A and B are shown apart, each in its own frame.
Chain A
C-alpha cells in the first residue's frame, strides 16, 4: 500500500498542533513501561484463572509455569532507549534524542532538523505499547531527516539501536495522514499489546499563515519478531490391540494433544488429552488410522504424526 500524499513544501516543522489532543493524553499519563508490563501481566493471569488453554485444562503449577514463560517473553519484549534510527529504504541514519513536551503540550522535536526526537514519557521502542519518534520533514534550507518518510512502503524495515548497540527491527505496517488537530493521539501514543513504533512527520501544503503544515504523517511500524515456532509433533505414535499411545513432547509450553481419526483427506477429532494426562487412550476402531498433534500455550498445533 502506498500512500498518496500531497506535495511537500518547505518550512520548519514542529510536530505541533497536537495541542488540544495532548491534554487528554496527559491526563491518563503513560506510566513507566515497567509498570505497564505488570498491569498487563495481571490481566493475563485473570484470563487463565479458569486454568485452561483451548480445550485443555491446566494444573495449577502448570499454569504458574506458563505465566512464568509469559513473563519471560514480556521481558524479552523490554524496550530500549533509542539512540539511533536507520531506515535504509529512504537512506535515513540519524541520532535520536529523548524529548518531552513543550509548555503548550506539544511533543517536543529537536531543533536540529537532522536528528529525531523520541517521546520519552511514553513507551520505549520494543516494549508493548506505541512508542513515537518524530522528525522534521523539511526546513527553510531544504529537506530534513524525515523528508522521504512518505516514500516508505509496507514491509520496509526500520532499525532502532540503543547506546549499547542493542538493535531492534521494526517493519512498516501502515501509513496515515491526519489533520494535526484531529489525529488519534491515544492510538498513536497509547497502550498496545504489540510493540509499535510510530514515526511522525509533517505533510500537506505548508500553511504560511499558520507557519506549519496542516497534516501529520504517521508511519506505523511493528517490532519484527521471529515467528513463534510450531510445537513439535508427538513421536512414537503407536496402536496396540485397542489403545493408542504416544510420547509426550517435552516442552514446557505444551498444553495438550489432539487425537484424530484419519479418513482419506479428512481428519476427525476423536479426543483431546491434556499435557498432564496419560498419553494413552482406548480406541474403538482397531482398523482405523490415527494421528496425534501437540498444542502449545499459544494454541498453535503441531503437524500430525500418524501412527506406525
Chain B
C-alpha cells in the first residue's frame, strides 16, 4: 500500500520520459547525470550509515577511536551540503544542514545514554531521532516538491534510523547475529533510499539531468556494484579491526562478509554464469577475504612474518589474479592492468586504514577510510561501465519487471518492507537474467 507512494516518482519518471526508445538508440552508459546523482547519493548516504553505526558502537564500547569515528560521521554530513546546494541552492543547503547536522549528535547521545544506563537521556535521544525523521522527511518532500511524498519520505528516513538503532541495540545486548543481519539490511535499505531520492530529484528537474533516468538497467548495475563494493570495504575494515582485537563479535562480522561474498558471486553469476562465479569466488576468498583474516590474526598474535605474508597476498597476489579475472571476464573492456591497479589501490587503502588504526592514529585512519570508501564507488563505476560496454544489448533500456516485486523480504516487523521496491542486487539479477545462457561459458 505504502509502496505505491514511493513508486509514484518512478512511474512519474516513466511519464516524463516516454521516449525510452529514443534513449535506447544511443549506447547504454552508466555515466548519465541521473546515474551520477544516484551514485553520489549511494556514496554519501551509505557512508553516513556505516559511520553512524561504527560511531555508536565505539562510543558504547568506550573505544579510543570513538571521537574520530564521530568526527568522520560529521565530515560526511558536511560533504552532503554542497551536493544539496548544487541542486537546490544555498538556502536549501543551509536548511538541510540545520536539520541534518544535529541528528548526528543524537545518535551519539543515544549511544552515550545507553552506555551510562541513563534512561532519561536515552528516551530524549530517541525522541530527537524520531523528530529528525519527521523533519527531514518533510524537508525532502518539500525540496522535491512532492516528487518524494512526505509520508513516504518520513517513513524512509525512519526506517533508516530504525536499522541503525536496531543494529546498535542488538550489539549492546550481545545479540550479534541480529546486529549484523540488521546491519546488512540497513545497508541495503540505503541504496533503495538513494534510488528513490535521486528518482524524485530528477523527476522534479529533468532538464538539469539532461532528461536521463536514475533507473536504467545500466544505472541499476552501477548502483548494485557500488553497494557490493562499498559494503565489502566497510565490512573489511570492521572485521580487520575486530579480528585484531579479538572482539566478541568478530565471527559475526566475518559472517556478514561471507554474505557479501555470496551476493557478489550471485551478481557475477548473472552476467558470467556459474563457472565464472566459481572462479570469482575462488579468487575473491583465497588471497583476499581469507588473507584479510590472516592479517587480522597475525596482528592479534603479533606475528610480523604473518603480517607481511598476508599483506603481500592482498596487494600482490589478489590484485594480479582478480585484475586478470576482470580483464578476461569483461573481454578487455576493463583492461587487466587497469583493474589490477585499482584493486591494488583498494587493498592499499584497506591495509593503511587498518594499520593507522592499530598504530592509534585514529583521525588519519578515518581519513584513509573515507578515501578508501570513496574509491569503491569509482571501482563500482569502472566495473559496471565495462560490463555495460561489453553487453550493450543487455543494458539498452529502462527496467520494466515482468511481475510485481516481492516486497516481503523481511519479517513482519521489518519497516522497510513497505519501501523496498526491489533490492539493488535483486534488480541487477532480474535485469541481467537473460544474459546467463549466452555468457555461461564465456570464461572457459
Report A's interface with B, CB cutoff 8 A: 57, 59, 61-62, 240-243, 245, 247-248, 274, 276-282
A59 to B296, CA, bound (A): 12
Q: Are A242 and B285 in contact (CB under 8 A)?
A: yes
Q: Are B297 and A277 in contact (CB under 8 A)?
A: yes
Q: Are A282 and B285 in contact (CB under 8 A)?
A: yes
Would A240 and B300 be within 8 Å (CB), given that A278-B254, A278-B293, A280-B254 are in contact? no
User: From B251, which residue of chain A is reached at the shortest CB distance?
Assistant: A248
Q: Are A240 and B246 in contact (CB under 8 A)?
A: no
Report B's interface with A, CB cutoff 8 A: 239, 243, 246, 250-251, 254-255, 258, 278, 281-282, 285-286, 289-290, 292-294, 296-297, 300-301
Q: Are A241 and B290 in contact (CB under 8 A)?
A: no
14 sampled A-B residue pairs with Cβ under 8 A: A57-B301, A240-B285, A241-B278, A242-B285, A243-B286, A247-B255, A248-B251, A274-B297, A276-B246, A276-B300, A279-B251, A280-B258, A280-B289, A282-B285
A281 to B258, CA, bound (A): 12
User: From A277, which residue of chain B is reached at the shortest CB distance?
Assistant: B297
Which chain B residues lie closer than 8 Å to A247 at the CB level?
A: 251, 255
Would A278 and B296 be within 8 Å (CB), given that A242-B286, A248-B251 are in contact? yes
Beyond A59-B301, A245-B258, list 11 extra A-B contacts (CB 8 Å).
A57-B301, A62-B246, A240-B281, A241-B285, A242-B281, A277-B243, A277-B293, A278-B243, A278-B294, A279-B254, A280-B254
A57 to B286, CA, bound (A): 23
Which chain A residues lie closer than 8 Å to B301 at the CB level?
A: 57, 59
Interface of B (DSSP majority class): helix
Which chain B residues lie closer than 8 Å to A62 at the CB level?
A: 246
Q: Are B285 and A280 in contact (CB under 8 A)?
A: yes
B348–chain A nearest beta-carbon distance, Å: 21
User: From A51, which residue of chain B is reached at the shortest CB distance?
Assistant: B301
User: From B289, which residue of chain A is reached at the shortest CB distance?
Assistant: A280
Would A278 and B281 be within 8 Å (CB), given that A61-B246, A242-B286, A245-B258 are in contact? no
A160 to B265, CA, bound (A): 64
B287–chain A nearest beta-carbon distance, Å: 9
Which chain A residues lie closer than 8 Å to B281 at the CB level?
A: 240-243
A2 to B251, CA, bound (A): 54
A103 to B206, CA, bound (A): 108
Q: Are A280 and B278 in contact (CB under 8 A)?
A: no
B149–chain A nearest beta-carbon distance, Å: 43
A229 to B58, CA, bound (A): 36
B84–chain A nearest beta-carbon distance, Å: 41
User: From B239, which residue of chain A is reached at the shortest CB distance?
Assistant: A278
Would A242 and B282 be within 8 Å (CB), given that A248-B251, A278-B293, A278-B296 are in contact? yes
Which chain A residues lie closer than 8 Å to B258 at the CB level?
A: 245, 280
User: From A283, which residue of chain B is reached at the shortest CB distance?
Assistant: B286
Which chain A residues lie closer than 8 Å to B296 at the CB level?
A: 278
Checking B246, B282, B290 against A278 with a beta-carbon cut-off of 8 angstroms, the contacting residue is: B290
Which chain A residues lie closer than 8 Å to B250 at the CB level?
A: 276
Would A59 and B300 be within 8 Å (CB), given that A240-B281, A242-B286 are in contact? yes
A241 to B277, CA, bound (A): 9
Which chain B residues lie closer than 8 Å to A243 at the CB level?
A: 281, 285-286, 290
A260 to B379, CA, bound (A): 39
Which chain B residues lie closer than 8 Å to A248 at the CB level?
A: 251
Which chain A residues lie closer than 8 Å to B294 at the CB level?
A: 277-278
User: From A276, which residue of chain B is reached at the shortest CB distance?
Assistant: B246
Closest 10 CB pairs of A and B: A278-B293, A59-B246, A248-B251, A242-B282, A277-B297, A276-B246, A241-B281, A241-B278, A282-B286, A241-B282
B243–chain A nearest beta-carbon distance, Å: 7
User: From B261, which residue of chain A is reached at the shortest CB distance?
Assistant: A240
B180–chain A nearest beta-carbon distance, Å: 13
Which chain A residues lie closer than 8 Å to B293 at the CB level?
A: 277-278, 280
User: From A248, which residue of chain B is reached at the shortest CB distance?
Assistant: B251
Which chain B residues lie closer than 8 Å to A242 at the CB level?
A: 281-282, 285-286
Name which of B239, B281, B300 has the most chain A CB atoms within 10 A of its CB. B300
A240 to B297, CA, bound (A): 22
A57 to B250, CA, bound (A): 17
Which chain B residues lie closer than 8 Å to A282 at the CB level?
A: 285-286, 290
A282 to B292, CA, bound (A): 13
Which chain A residues lie closer than 8 Å to B239 at the CB level?
A: 278
User: From A243, which residue of chain B is reached at the shortest CB distance?
Assistant: B285
A277 to B278, CA, bound (A): 24
Which chain B residues lie closer than 8 Å to A241 at the CB level?
A: 278, 281-282, 285
Which chain B residues lie closer than 8 Å to A280 at the CB level?
A: 254, 258, 285, 289-290, 293
B223–chain A nearest beta-carbon distance, Å: 26
Which chain B residues lie closer than 8 Å to A278 at the CB level?
A: 239, 243, 254, 290, 292-294, 296-297
Q: Are A281 and B243 in contact (CB under 8 A)?
A: no
User: From B280, which residue of chain A is reached at the shortest CB distance?
Assistant: A241
User: From A60, which residue of chain B is reached at the shortest CB distance?
Assistant: B246
Q: Are A276 and B243 in contact (CB under 8 A)?
A: yes
User: From B252, which residue of chain A is reached at the shortest CB distance?
Assistant: A248
A49 to B246, CA, bound (A): 18
A278 to B261, CA, bound (A): 15
A237–chain B nearest beta-carbon distance, Å: 13
A241 to B279, CA, bound (A): 8
A274 to B243, CA, bound (A): 12
A278 to B292, CA, bound (A): 9
A98–chain B nearest beta-carbon distance, Å: 46
User: From A274, which residue of chain B is reached at the shortest CB distance?
Assistant: B297
A59 to B258, CA, bound (A): 24
B245–chain A nearest beta-carbon distance, Å: 8
User: From A252, which residue of chain B is reached at the shortest CB distance?
Assistant: B248
Which chain A residues lie closer than 8 Å to B289 at the CB level?
A: 280
A167–chain B nearest beta-carbon distance, Å: 36
A247 to B254, CA, bound (A): 10
A276 to B250, CA, bound (A): 8
A276 to B297, CA, bound (A): 7
A247 to B290, CA, bound (A): 15
Which chain B residues lie closer than 8 Å to A57 at the CB level?
A: 301
A277 to B243, CA, bound (A): 7
A104–chain B nearest beta-carbon distance, Å: 59
B120–chain A nearest beta-carbon distance, Å: 33
B62–chain A nearest beta-carbon distance, Å: 15
